[in-house]
Amino acid sequence: MSDREVLRKGARAEDSATLKVFAEVRQHRERLSRLMNAHDAARLVLGLLYLSRTARTVPRGGVPTWLWLLSEAVEGRSPIGPSLSACFAHWLPATDARGDDMGTRDLMPVPPPGADGPLRGLILAIGSVQHVGTLLDQCLHDLSAEQARGSHYFTPGDMARLMVGAAAPQDGHSVLDPVCGSGGLLVESHHYVRERVGLNPTMSLQGKDQHAHTSQVARMNLAARGIEARVFPPRDSLATPEPDRHDIILANLPFNQHDWAPERQVTPQNWRIPADPRWPEEPPPRGSANSAWILHIAHALAPQGRAAFLMADSVAKSPQPATRRLRERLLSADLVECVIALPPRVFGHTEATACLWVLNKDKSPRPGWGSVDRRDQVLFINARRAFEPVPGSRARRLGDKHTESILTTLAAWRGIAQNRATSMSYHDEPGWSRSCSTKEISRRKHDLMPTSYAVEPTGPERDTRSRIDQLKLELVEKLNQVHELESRLLDALEEI
């Protein structure tokens, strides 16, 4: 989404004065970005938004509050940097509710010399805004754009809506994101349930991330929106099995992560993983964490739990024995509910294509899921061309219309009404969707690639596109093999 569209979308109901404030915030942030790197500048703006909603007046004196910071910015008699640091030191959490050390107070960037002007402007502009949701979205969008240069980005809004809508959390559910980033999927889960129950949801929202700065962003994002959630201290989610079972798991996973096993489990001379309940049959390959992530998520699901996660195309179709056995195990356990082939380039920073997987531990008809018995069946949706251009740029996005089309198809297949509309019976649509039995999938070597099932009618154009898609898949598979061989070679060199 372009910067202008971020502003337009969130400000349709706002008056011209509010739009002016949004523009002022952007202008001051850009001035700040010229004095420090843009990533840190965006995090400072996010910190100010957090303070504006959490640093409230307290009964005892001597506590730096948001109103005090506003007055300091108005008076302008002393540098604002120390006052801002005092607010951060007091209000950023040092520990969570259970006493775990969060280590967040020392992570906030220190404003550089000469930053007084843009900082005062930001404080005054943010202080005049009643609803900070749109400013938060704008700030996270800018921060994600900066991080995407290093292949570390936040889930786009339309993709988050698709993932949450596919998992369909309910009030009272336990929701986990093991790679939570900015916490966007947790925010969207809260919004999804609140729209349906009309009240503040009673959900357990939990997020984990390996990076301390990102964990801090998630905590501030959720707190500034008034959403109660627990973001754990930075940790590698794959290091140990989840201690609890969850109703919903959402994850924008890192693709093809190499050397994922903790060092204590690996020696250069002997690649062996100790016994682990997540993979009782065989350990996942060391060269890629794709299989490990899927098994980690499946193990953490409650008896009727559902998961929605993004995964590289190669996992759905790869002929590699380990990956094929993974698909076979998932189908034997009847865990796979739906696989959606997503359009290329909708993540902005990469040309790689991906699929959205939906796992479900209980596909029998029941309230809150659907009225149709879908045990031993899998729905495939081919959304490769379900995208729209982002105005004013070469980027693409899924868009609200295509997101709604995918969710409507999935809802009809489950046998539920989508968005309170009249429930429609599901029918296969050539080139878009197809429901298959697990027996048929097994006969196809457990292929889970939607483009293999939801096939367009024959014709020259379709044959050309299919050949191109096949060549892309083969190239990605060869590159993955190269990375795996490279890892083995490095291990062998270490032994010499």
362 in Cβ contact with 303 (< 8 Å): yes
Show the low-confidence residues of the chain (pLDDT under 50): 1-4, 6-8, 10-13, 97, 99, 101, 150-151, 264, 266-268, 420-422
Mapping DSSP onto H, E and C, the string for the chain reads: CCHHHHHHHHCCCCCHHHHHHHHHHHHHHHHHHCCCCHHHHHHHHHHHHHHHHHCCCCCCCCCCCHHHHHHHHHHCCCCHHHHHHHHHHHHCCCECCCCCECCCCCCCCCCCCCCHHHHHHHHHHHHCCCCCHHHHHHHHHHHHHHHHHHCCCCCCHHHHHHHHHHHCCCCCCEEEECCCCCCHHHHHHHHHHHHHHCCCCCCEEEECCCCHHHHHHHHHHHHHCCCCCEECCCCCHHHCCCCCCEEEEEEECCCCCCCCCCHHHCECCECCCCCCCCCCCCCCCCCCCHHHHHHHHHHCEEEEEEEEEEEEHHHHHCCCHHHHHHHHHHHHCCCEEEEEECCCCCCCCCCCCEEEEEEECCCCCECCCECCCCCCEEEEEECCCCCEECCCCCCEECHHHHHHHHHHHHHHHHCCCHHHCCCCCCCCECCCEEEEEHHHHHHCCCCCCHHHCCCCCCCHHHHHHHHHHHHHHHHHHHHHHHHHHHHHHHHHHHHC
Convert the pLDDT of each residue in 348-364 to its tens digit: 556 678 999 999 999 99
Please report whether residue 496 resides in a domain.
no
Q: How far apart are alpha carbons 132 and 42 in whole angstroms? A: 15
Q: How far apart are alpha carbons 413 and 426 in whole angstroms? A: 5
The confidence score (pLDDT) of residue 12 equals 47
Please report whether residue 316 resides in a domain.
yes
| CATH number of the domain bearing residue 334 | 3.40.50.150
Please report whether residue 492 resides in a domain.
no
Q: Are 140 and 274 in a shared domain?
A: no
The confidence score (pLDDT) of residue 171 equals 95
Q: Are 210 and 121 in a shared domain?
A: no
For residue 235, what are its two tokens?
């940790």
Q: Are 109 and 159 in a shared domain?
A: no
Q: What letter represents residue 55's amino acid?
A: A
The confidence score (pLDDT) of residue 465 equals 60
For residue 482, what are its two tokens?
């190269």
Please report whether residue 482 resides in a domain.
no
What pTM did the predictor assign? Answer: 0.85
Q: What letter represents residue 471's amino acid?
A: L
Q: How far apart are alpha carbons 398 and 390 in whole angstroms? A: 10
Q: Are 308 and 448 in a shared domain?
A: yes
Q: Are 125 and 237 in a shared domain?
A: no
Last residue of a domain, one of 88, 118, 145: 145
Convert the pLDDT of each residue in 27-70 to its tens digit: 999 999 899 988 888 889 999 999 999 887 666 667 899 999 99
User: Given strand 336-341, what is the order of strands in its sheet?
Assistant: 230-231, 204-207, 174-177, 246-252, 301-312, 354-360, 336-341, 377-382, 433-437
Please report whether residue 50 resides in a domain.
yes
Q: What letter represents residue 117's amino acid?
A: G
Q: How far apart are alpha carbons 416 and 291 in whole angstroms? A: 31
Q: Are 81 and 131 in a shared domain?
A: yes
Angle, alpha carbons 409-415-417 (nearest 5°):
75
Domain that holds residue 103: 3-145
Q: Are 133 and 156 in a shared domain?
A: no
Q: What letter represents residue 432's amino acid?
A: W
Quickly count: other Cβ atoms within 10 Å of residue 77's Cβ.
6
Last residue of a domain, one of 93, 111, 145: 145
The confidence score (pLDDT) of residue 97 equals 47
Q: Are 257 and 362 in a shared domain?
A: yes
Please report whether residue 43 resides in a domain.
yes
Q: Are 191 and 64 in a shared domain?
A: no
438: left (phi over 0), alpha (psi -120 to 50) or beta: alpha
Last residue of a domain, one of 145, 174, 203: 145
**Any idea of the CA torsion for 406, 5, 1, 220, to the nearest 10 degrees?**
-100
Residue bearing tokens 């109660």: 228
Q: Are 350 and 212 in a shared domain?
A: yes
Q: Are 355 and 236 in a shared domain?
A: yes
Q: Are 284 and 307 in a shared domain?
A: yes
Please report whether residue 198 resides in a domain.
yes
Tell me how many domains the chain contains: 2
269 in Cβ contact with 213 (< 8 Å): no
Please report whether residue 398 resides in a domain.
yes
